[in-house]
Structure 1
């Protein structure tokens, strides 16, 4: 009986250690750029739909999800949950997605980015992008720590998190953070799920636009963050997914971004559901099609999930 209890406890301890995730601050506590002292208290709770959400983020972090050692292939993806720049959908657009990538041997990092607020930031319009750039910089500079290929680091985003990921993809040549080593801030690939892309009046998501840019946005910033106008030939390869009946973020966001990618001869692929609405995460409840299967095929086609060949 004592031997049974010993091995049961040993199993539970090893399982806990395997399931435990490392949470890394993006910056030193006294060195968060564009930050102001605040009394806001971060909260993580269940929303009415049962999803876990995080709000009032002032201390951005990366949560590391490591694949099994025998599957690890050196590719990494930084995941930006959605939430209209108001909250973060931390579970179904964050941790659940990270675990899926781990099954493929991909190391995943869930980014808990600051939500734009004049109470916590000097310039709320650049706060989230600073954190996305810092996440890319941090993972690339520490690549050997997790045995990653420094040229196989991508970014993924859902909804407003898709806007953030796409912002990082088109604005990598303008650094909003200190970058003394001149580390490349360009993601090597991008995955966008029902993303907010445009802030124009016709198709833009007004809630995300107002949270990021305010009620009366500066026209120059409006154009800068209407990302269909910012694509260049240097934009990294992109995979896009959207449902045609999405009433939260119109599918035209994805279509216009894809059109800009095509015009600039940027490699991209797209999967469109007929139905599904908005914010469903990994599983579209109206369809048996697993859209992540197409993401996996796309990554395989770019040699991002082949077995590692290099040594560290």
Structure 2
């Protein structure tokens, strides 16, 4: 892969088939719960779709590692969006993995289970993904103290969920993966769904996560602007003012809480770009800011 990062970004939506063809096969494809998940989303049968995958009942990790001799690198768990109804791996998974491995950063796409009325399931998968990366850190030549998460849209809600509610692991668990921390060391959120409250909520994501008539306690629980603490990891956010799907107030509200709690945070807001990959395709200047932020965080 010899193309520059800027070329890769501009090409993400224009030439998705080329990107997918050029992306190497994963170093590994892992069953996230090889001994069976502790919960279920009630879905059965084969997965549906290719670009955006639905009916996921068995979550997997697609692991992409940088090649060549190298020191232990940082790693990023990628959680694509899809309104908690599908996981859009082609537009918000594969191109992001390519960008990261070109920068010498390990990329792990998390094809998480959709809630289907079981709101705990997606976050359980994302936390398990972070634990799995740390469990395999030595094998994959990854620095276990530099493991972040990068989420898009509803996947951004998932990333912010695990960035605000996490644990240090279960030291006495017979499952060695579960002994690892689920806290991301840094968090990247692109046009994220953050709140479940009327006014700025993405109604489709809310319906798919907590149902059509959710209890007030669930709305509070998954309004992640209310869950920020001093322990929330440093965060980089990107959003567009003209986003009509997920209002920019989602990122603004989260950013305000990060600042209030003293958490290092950067927020890029562009006038236009709408929702989805056009948000960063139309605004390539984000790359320079992102690069500086990664360096400041020690993530590269």
TM-score range, shorter chain: 0.7 to 0.9
1:297 partnered with 2:292: yes
More divergent stretch after superposition (289-298 vs 254-263): 289-298
Is 1:220 the equivalent of 2:239? no
1:35-184 correspondence runs (5 A): 35=40, 38-45=43-50, 52-70=51-69, 73-118=72-117, 124-173=118-167, 182-184=179-181
Could you report, residue by residue, the CA deviation over 1:14-69 in whole angstroms, capped at 9, with x for unpaired residues? xx9992212111011x5112126643320233xxxxxx211111110110111122
In structure 2, the CA distance between the partners of 1:116 and 1:158, relative to structure 1 (3 Å rule), is same
Distance in 2, matches of 1:203 and 1:26, equals 33
Deviation at 1:72, TM superposition (A): 5.8
3-state secondary structure, aligned to 1:135 = helix
Aligned residue number for residue 12 of structure 2: none
TM-superposed deviation, 1:292? 3.1
The equivalent residue for 1:24 is 30
Aligned pairs for 1:231-246 (under 5 A) are 231-246=228-243
Does the Cα contact within 8 Å between 2:66 and 2:102 map onto a contact in 1?
Answer: yes
- Given the alignment, which residue of 274, 278, 301 partners 2:275? 278
Cα distance change of structure 1 residues 179 and 283 upon mapping to structure 2, 3 Å threshold: farther
Q: Is the 2:41–2:116 contact (alpha carbons within 8 Å) kept by the matching residues of 1?
A: no
Distance 1:72 1:34, change over 3 A: same
CA distance 1:73–1:271, shift in 2 (3 Å): farther
Check whether the contact 2:168–2:180 (CA below 8 A) recurs between aligned residues. Answer: no
Contact 2:101 2:107 in 1 (8 A): yes
Distance 1:238 1:18 in 2: 27
1:86–1:174 CA distance, 2 compared to 1 (3 A): farther
Distance verdict in 2 for CA 1:208–1:35, change over 3 Å: same
CA distance in 1, matches of 2:249, 2:268: 13
Distance 2:279 2:247 in 1: 19
Give unpaired runs (5+ residues) of structure 1: 1-15, 46-51, 119-123, 306-312
Q: Structure 2 vs 1, CA of residues 111 and 281 (structure 1 numbering), >3 Å: closer, same or farther?
A: farther
Q: 1:18 to 1:85 in 2, by over 3 A?
A: closer
Shift of the 71–198 alpha-carbon distance from structure 1 to 2, 3 Å rule, reads same
- 1: distance between equivalents of 2:22 and 2:257? 45
TM-score w.r.t. structure 1 length? 0.83
* Correspondence for 1:188: 185
Any idea what the Cα deviations from partners look like across 1:135-187, whole Å, max 9, x if unmatched? 011111111011111100000100000000000000013989x9556421110
Does the CA-based 8 Å contact 1:282-1:292 persist in structure 2?
Answer: no
Structure with the greater alpha carbon radius of gyration = 1
> CA distance change for structure 1 residues 113 and 210 in 2, over 3 Å: closer, same or farther?
same
How far, CA to CA, are the matches of 1:44 and 1:72 in structure 2?
37
Distance 1:183 1:156 in 2: 19
Using structure 2 for the length normalisation, give the TM-score.
Answer: 0.86
Unaligned runs of 5+ in 2: 1-20
Secondary structure of 2:268's aligned partner = strand
